[in-house]
Amino acid sequence: MQTKLLQQGQIDEAISLLKAGEIVALPTETVYGLAADANNESAIKKIFIAKNRPTNHPLIVHIDSFDMIQEWTDEIPDYAYKLSENLWPGPLTMLLNKKHNVSDIITGCSTKIALRMPNNHLILKIIKSVGGALVAPSANTYKKLSPTRAEHVMQDLSGKISAVLDGGACSIGIESTIIDLTTKTPKILRPGSITKDMIETALQINIPEYQSHTEQVPGNMLAHYQPNTPCFLMTLSEIEDYIRDGEDYNIAVMHFSLFENDKVKLYPIASDRRGFAKTMYDILHNIDKSRFRKILIELPPKSWSDINDRLYKAQYNK
């Protein structure tokens, strides 16, 4: 299959392909998603094949209006109204109890359904034109780096999907926060740029801190978001020692503090949390193209829970 790289002016072609049951990578504000018509099971199955993703990993359903929630759940808690009023469209995914007729292919046989209204005019327009929700996992091979530019998707999935719609670089750059609203107290399952504080302000309650966990639930793998080049999280002084004591300088260093070294290749990144998240995957994709032996990543502050979650999984090595 030849994958078409579509420009924004060709959005109608993306819509036609989706209506015809094909899979198309689309921009969102977080990362590019690999979309299919959420009401077309044979189209959804193509996503799992293209990504090489196990079928028990559920997909997020993307909607363009709050009313669409009713197609997916019969139980809309007050918290869902409050969060959507304050934070949708935006990088927040809500987990609710699914309606009985929702396809097990979407939920991986779970009784819960993940829903999100993305904040990107292209995907919102496409959902409206398709006339129903789109399922969309991140548009990357299972366990690999998420894409934040159309070219990242082309490098990874070209030949396996019908098209990529180029909407430029994603404005957030890290996957949505996932909050479980099926429990008495809402619980963050995946940290993102919508923080605990933002959720607490919207809900006017306290919720527990995100706990990284090793439960064997789909989507919570120890190894995930991985570049092809092995990467290691280290403090800047550990990185300095490592370079001083080592002999192999075929190394990339991604750092947010001021750092100079002429033996290795430096990849500076923004020192604020949002700036770091925005270009983190882009820089790692770039490093991967250059075939270094290792990537040393300056350890971010503990409070950057979303970034740490991704980077610890990126470095995990059995």
Residue ranges that bind ligand TXA, judged by CB under 6 A: 28, 30-31, 33, 57-60, 91, 93, 95, 107, 110, 112-114, 116, 118, 136-138, 175-176, 178, 218-219
Q: For ligand TXA, which is the closer residue by CB, 118 or 300?
A: 118
Smallest gap, in angstroms, from Cβ of residue 39 to ligand TXA? 17
Q: Which does 219 bind (CB under 5 to 8 A by kind): Mg ion, ligand TXA, none?
A: ligand TXA
Give the C-alpha separation, 100 to 299, whole Å.
44
Q: For ligand TXA, which is the closer residue by CB, 143 or 294?
A: 143
Say whether residue 138 binds Mg ion (CB under 5 A).
yes
The two tokens of residue 119 are: 């904040």
The piece of 14-22, 94-102, 135-143, 232-240 that touches Mg ion (CB under 5 A) is 135-143
Smallest gap, in angstroms, from Cβ of residue 291 to Mg ion? 24
In the bound complex, which residue of the shown chain has the CB atom lying closest to Mg ion?
138
Give the C-alpha separation, 247 to 48, whole Å.
42
Q: For ligand TXA, which is the closer residue by CB, 17 or 178?
A: 178
What DSSP character marks residue 257? S
Smallest gap, in angstroms, from Cβ of residue 221 to Mg ion? 10
Say whether residue 176 binds Mg ion (CB under 5 A).
no
Q: For Mg ion, which is the closer residue by CB, 190 or 273?
A: 190
The dihedral of CA 265, 270, 272, 276: what is its sign?
negative
Half-sphere exposure of 241 (CA within 13 A, CB side): 5
Smallest gap, in angstroms, from Cβ of residue 138 to Mg ion? 3
Closest CA to 182 of 275, 289, 93: 93
Strand duo 251-255 + 294-298: pairing: parallel
Q: Which does 186 bind (CB under 5 to 8 A by kind): Mg ion, ligand TXA, none?
A: none
Smallest gap, in angstroms, from Cβ of residue 37 to ligand TXA? 15
Q: Which residue has the tokens 């990126």?
A: 314
| Three-point CA angle 93, 179, 169, nearest 5° | 40
For 148-177, b where at least 16 C-beta lie within 10 A, e where not — what string? bbbbbbbebbeebbbbbbbbeebbbbbbbb
Which parts of this chain interact with Mg ion (CB under 5 A)? Answer: 138
